[in-house]
Amino acid sequence: MLDCDYFPQPLITQNGHTFLYFHKTPASVSMGNMSTLNDQEVHLLPLRPNGGTIYHVFFITGNPGLIGYYHSFLTLLADKLALARHGVAIYGHSLANFVDEFIIDGTGSREGRKILGLQGQIEYVEGVLRSYVDGLENASSVEDSAEPPKIILVGHSVGAYIGLEIIRRWTEEEERKMRVIGLVGLWPTVTWIGESPSGKRFGWLARLPYLEKVVACATKVLTAIVSRSVLHNMVKFVTGMPDDAANVTSDFLCSPNGVEQALHMARDEMLQITEDRWADDIWGSATKIPGIASPKLIFYFGKNDHWVADHMRDELIASRGSRTTEDELWRSKMLIDDEDIPHGFCIHHNVIAASKCASFIDETIEADRPT
């Protein structure tokens, strides 16, 4: 059952996606389970802020792409933003094939079993975002709005890479049904992931033939002979995860395609996340794109992130990060964590990570407001 101060409104189905809307009470959000932890999606929607603008935070997971890992984080984030008196809706969705045995495209059609690479997941997330925006046309949050919905992308790990690609595609559109005003990258992996400590180790394993199929088959055998409660306790013992994260991991291990999908996508990440592939006008440019307010980019890197090579991170910050001079504040804001929060912050560090993320979203909203 829902263990927080959000109360569910009727289910609304748009383009094959079912949205569960929540209205927040004046009380603060308590941390707890958000119903079933292997749900495909989470949608937290505040009461309309006195007729003001509602900003839509669209959350993109890392790999493994299960939104269940982020339930506590997103609940706490909603609480922080509510205290700041912002009207912010939060939507998050699992990546394709991590929960169900089929994928749902932007039109709602069900495709057969299909393991996706990084580009396939980008297209999937883009389709989910477009379905979400289409669904807003009939939602009370934007029914009186004369402008397109304002979207703030928040991506964890490879989710930040996916977010950059969505912005690139959005800037190339002639007709825009939404306005992407910012991207917050949390512990982002956007360049040279194969040079990171974990990338080097996995890169060696990824060269083994049929790796993902062998591991997936072995996992299916394990989950077939071990009871769910035993599996749950094994996950907790081996990983040190709390109950909620161990539940999500157990669901992931028992899913039809999740393990194979995660390994296949990780292999593809090693091949595709290499050099900086985005133009100046994506990262931030003194020369604005005609008719577009450039999205504000904020990247929060880990201090000792095992999925990010420090020297590659520092090169990116030097070439793309903002300077202290007033005339170069249009550049992307890039920070390095000084709290020693690990890459997988959503397991044990949700409170502090939500506070950090809320401050970045506040900054993005304030930058969007007229001066």
pLDDT (tens digit per residue) in 174-233: 788 899 999 999 999 999 999 999 999 999 988 898 999 999 999 999 999 999 999 999
pLDDT in the model for residue 167: 96
pLDDT in the model for residue 86: 72
pLDDT in the model for residue 147: 82
pLDDT in the model for residue 110: 53
The pLDDT of 19-26, averaged and rounded, is: 32
> Is pLDDT above 50 for 13?
no
pLDDT in the model for residue 285: 57
> Is pLDDT above 90 for 101?
no
270: left (phi over 0), alpha (psi -120 to 50) or beta: alpha
Under 8 Å between Cβ of 232 and 250 = yes
pLDDT tens digits, 236-295? 999 999 999 999 999 999 999 999 999 999 999 999 999 999 998 899 755 555 555 689
The pLDDT of 22-27, averaged and rounded, is: 31
- Among the residue ranges 68-72, 162-166, 284-288, the one predicted with the least confidence is 284-288
First to last CA, the chain: 43
Residue closest to 353 by CA, chosen among 17, 31, 117: 31
Rounded Cα distance, 357 and 354, in Å: 5
Q: Given the DSSP bridges, would you call strands 41-44 and 88-93 parallel, antiparallel or unpaired?
A: antiparallel
pLDDT in the model for residue 19: 34
Give the model's confidence band at 142: pLDDT under 50 very low, under 70 low, under 90 confident, else very high.
Answer: very low
pLDDT in the model for residue 114: 80
Structural tokens at position 62: 């890392």
pLDDT in the model for residue 27: 29
- Among the residue ranges 116-130, 152-166, 315-329, the one predicted with the least confidence is 315-329
pLDDT tens digits, 288-342? 555 556 899 999 999 999 999 999 999 999 999 986 655 566 689 999 999 999 9
Task: Return the SS3 of 299.
Answer: strand
pLDDT in the model for residue 322: 81
pLDDT in the model for residue 233: 97
> Is pLDDT above 60 for 163?
yes
Q: Which residue has the higher pLDDT, 173 or 84?
A: 173
pLDDT in the model for residue 83: 74
- Among the residue ranges 60-69, 112-121, 232-241, 253-262, the one predicted with the least confidence is 112-121
> Is pLDDT above 90 for 64?
yes
CA atoms within 13 A on the CB side of 231: 19
Position 61: which residue type?
T
pLDDT in the model for residue 111: 52
Length of the chain: 371
Give the model's confidence band at 20: pLDDT under 50 very low, under 70 low, under 90 confident, else very high.
Answer: very low
CA distances from 99 to 193, 245, 248, 254 (A): 25, 15, 10, 9
Which neighbouring-strand residues pair with 59? 92, 154
Of the ranges 32-41, 67-76, 314-323, which is most confident? 67-76
The pLDDT of 112-123, averaged and rounded, is: 88
Q: What is the residue-averaged pLDDT of the chain?
A: 82
Give the model's confidence band at 138: pLDDT under 50 very low, under 70 low, under 90 confident, else very high.
Answer: low
pLDDT in the model for residue 15: 34
